Amino acid sequence: EAQVTQNPRYLITVTGKKLTVTCSQNMNHEYMSWYRQDPGLGLRQIYYSMNVEVTDKGDVPEGYKVSRKEKRNFPLILESPSPNQTSLYFCASSGSFNYGYTFGSGTRLTVV
C-alpha cells in the first residue's frame, strides 16, 4: 500500500530534550515536506526537500532541522524543543512539485 509513515503518533517530551520524528514513504517520491497544524493557523510548511541532499526552508523553519540522506526518509529534528513547538505535525510526499501531496497520519507532539 502506497503510504507515508510517521513515527511516533504521539509524543510528550520536556523542554530542551532533543527529539526526532521519522517519516518514510514507499512511493519513490522526489518531493517531501513537513508541516505543523495549529488551531486558527491551518497547516504551515516547515521544511521541504526536492530530492536527496536537497532541502530548503518553508514558512516556519525556526527551531527545526531536517535531513534527506535517502530518498524514502525525511526526519524532522528538534534539537532543543520548546513549549511553542507543541503542535500536530504532518509529513507529506509527492512525485511532482505541482501535484497533490500524500500525507502521513500525523504526530501529536507536546513539549512541557
Partner 1 sequence: DQQVKQNSPSLSVQEGRISILNCDYTNSMFDYFLWYKKYPAEGPTFLISISSIKDKNEDGRFTVFLNKSAKHLSLHIVPSQPGDSAVYFCAASTGNQFYFGTGTSLTVIP
Whether the CB-CB separation of 95 and 4 falls below 8 Å is answered with: no
Interface residues for partner 1 in 30-49 (CB under 8 A)? 31, 33, 35, 40-45, 48
Q: At closest approach, how far in Å is the CB of 80 from partner 1? A: 25
Q: Under the phi-then-psi rule, with left for phi > 0, alpha for psi from -120 to 50, and beta for the rest, what region is 22?
A: beta
Nearest to partner 1 of 14, 45 (CB atom): 45
Cβ contact 75:21 at 8 Å: yes
CB of 23 to partner 1, least distance (A): 11
Cβ contact 89:21 at 8 Å? yes
Chain positions contacting partner 1, by CB under 8 A: 4, 31, 33, 35, 40-45, 48, 50, 56, 58-59, 90, 92, 97-106
